[in-house]
Amino acid sequence: MNPIWADEQGSLRGLGSSQLADPGTGRDRYLATLDEIRRSGRDRGFASFTFDIDADGSIVDIPDAVQRGQLPASRFAMPLHVIDDGVGEWRVGFEKAMLEIETGRVEKVVLARQVLVESGGPIEPSAIVSRLANANPGCYVFSVGGLVGASPELLVSLRRGRVSTLALAGTATDPEELGSAKISEEHRHVSASVTSALEPHMTGIDLTEQVIVPHGNMSHVGTRIAGPAVPGTTVADILADLHPTAAVAGYPSSAALDLIREVEPASRGRYAGPVGWMDSEGDGVFAIALRCGQIDGKRITLYSGGGLVAGSEESAELHETELKLAPMMEALGQR
């Protein structure tokens, strides 16, 4: 399956054969991706990186050509059933995570839930992408290496010397609830971490704007940040400093990452990692891989998560994971 990316600028589809590469691990994987694209002699590559920078499994897909235009029509109409809803493992992780918050080890940690779904036959990524794009306007829709989804969160865009991002943290079904102390605390960490990571790559910040971002039955608190890039900056340079944000890991970052490795039952893979494209000039657009699933033949693992801070309630947080699973469940014909 050739890669697909769609956002407010339109859709991009890889055509022909692809050069596939593994960019490795660590901070250098982003520059390694840019080097692979430049060595290929092709203009643009698509990439999906693991959440954990020390984990294997990142993918760079460099197609023969890239076409702008319509997404493929949906053809997916196959019954699926949930093999494992992930609730039991999530509840165990929630209890452990809240204990660590109480002890002061972390102020915030993002806990993910995994749901395993099986089909009667191979799952077609392009059909899911088409449904996601139609049902989730304003999102960043992607299919790279079997990871498909529709993310509301822009990690970073670097185009023609201008950097922008949309940092999200704080979710509610009622927009009036987005002013709660818990959500304000969540968002404060995310906004601060993103601003700190971007500042070395910008000559100044000329836009800082807090917005409410609707997505399906949910609304999120977002902060838009934008400004001119330091000359010579590439999107690979920015990704190395920006990921992971507090929106997908927690705060303090290193302690939150350690806790995630301890309490989550399986690796996140490329869920909550950067996904997008970059060109040979070093420009690119990357979202955080949210509201997504990883296809493996007849099976797909769906992911959702939420930020936990002091005072988080189990029932409310579990309900939030259900809401965040909804876009993929609907694309799979389950709701």
pLDDT at 187: 66
pLDDT tens per residue across span 287-309: 999 999 999 999 999 999 998 99
pLDDT at 80: 86
pLDDT at 122: 85
Residue 78 has pLDDT above 70, yes or no: no
Q: Which of 265, 232, 270, 230 is nearest to 248 (CA)?
A: 270
Q: According to the per-residue pLDDT averaged within each range, which of 42-46, 164-168, 173-177, 190-194 is highest?
A: 42-46
Q: Which of 113, 109, 116, 117 is nearest to 88 (CA)?
A: 113
pTM of the model: 0.93
| Alpha-carbon gap, residue 74 to 212, rounded angstroms | 30
- How much is the CA Rg of the chain, to the nearest whole Å? 19
pLDDT tens per residue across span 175-232: 777 677 766 766 677 778 888 899 999 999 998 887 777 776 777 778 889 999 999 9
Residue 60 has pLDDT above 70, yes or no: yes
Could you give all domains of the chain from N- to C-terminal order, each with its CATH number?
4-331 (3.60.120.10)
Q: According to the per-residue pLDDT averaged within each range, which of 8-12, 28-32, 181-185 is highest?
A: 28-32
Residue 82 has pLDDT above 80, yes or no: yes
What is the share, in percent, of the chain residues with pLDDT greater than 90? 69
* Contact partners, residue 184, CB within 8 Å, separation at least 6: 170
H helices of the chain, in order, are: 29-40, 87-103, 125-135, 181-198, 235-242, 253-263, 314-331
| Alpha-carbon gap, residue 23 to 223, rounded angstroms | 30
